Amino acid sequence: MRVSLALDGAGRSQVATGLAFLDHMLDLFARHGLFDLEVECRGDLEIDDHHSVEDIAISLGQAFAEGLGDKRGINRYGAAIVPMDEALCRAVVDLSGRFYLVYAVETRRDMIGNFSVELAEHFWRSFAEAARCNLHIDLLRGRNTHHILEASFKATARALREAVTIDPRVVGVPSTKGVL
């Protein structure tokens, strides 16, 4: 497993997980977040996709936490609503240092290629816990599972992009407690 992340990137990605749909989601996550992302995973896909998806999410979350450092000057909060054809997803994030996930996304399919759709929620739970953030992902409407997950990854990327952006007006850490 190898993950490299630049939060202030240009949206470039090089992803090879053995799960084509997850590669697609991580590519568009990098593009819409303007993160430079490299992921290489050689998991035990002969068993199933659970361990690979979980390990990638944990590693990505850890890279986010590390990349944020002490969080001085960041916006801290981010929100985005993204359509993908008939699907519409909202993501809201607080880079508070506290983990919480609300995932209100209903889908109709069990698999997309060799990717277990139920693992999308587990991906975001593992990511949010490792990144130590509060993350809400809501499906506002949608029928096509591919479109729903694509909209959710894009919305989350755009919300995170907003949250990690440095605002020159923010002095220190954006918290009344002085620490995040």
Model pLDDT, residue 178: 79
Model pLDDT, residue 66: 98
| Band of pLDDT at residue 93, cut at 50, 70 and 90 | very high
What average pLDDT score do residues 76-97 get? 98
Task: Please give the C-alpha separations between residue 78 and each of 96, 134, 136, 160, in angstroms, as whole numbers.
Answer: 11, 11, 11, 6
- CA neighbor of 30 nearest in space, from 21, 39, 43: 39
Model pLDDT, residue 177: 83
The answer, yes or no, to whether residue 175 has pLDDT greater than 90, is: no
Sign of CA dihedral 16, 119, 132, 142: positive
Q: For 149-171, how does the pLDDT look when each residue is reduced to its tens digit (9 = 90+)?
A: 999 999 999 999 999 999 999 98
What average pLDDT does the chain have?
A: 97
Return the domain boundaries, the chain. Answer: 2-164
- CA neighbor of 95 nearest in space, from 127, 57, 60, 68: 68
DSSP 3-state assignment of 79? strand
Q: Which CATH number fits domain 2-164: 3.90.79.10, 3.40.50.300, 3.40.50.2300, 3.30.230.40?
A: 3.30.230.40
Residues above pLDDT 70, as percent of the chain: 100
Q: For 20-58, how does the pLDDT look when each residue is reduced to its tens digit (9 = 90+)?
A: 999 999 999 999 999 999 999 999 999 999 999 999 999
pTM of the shown model: 0.97
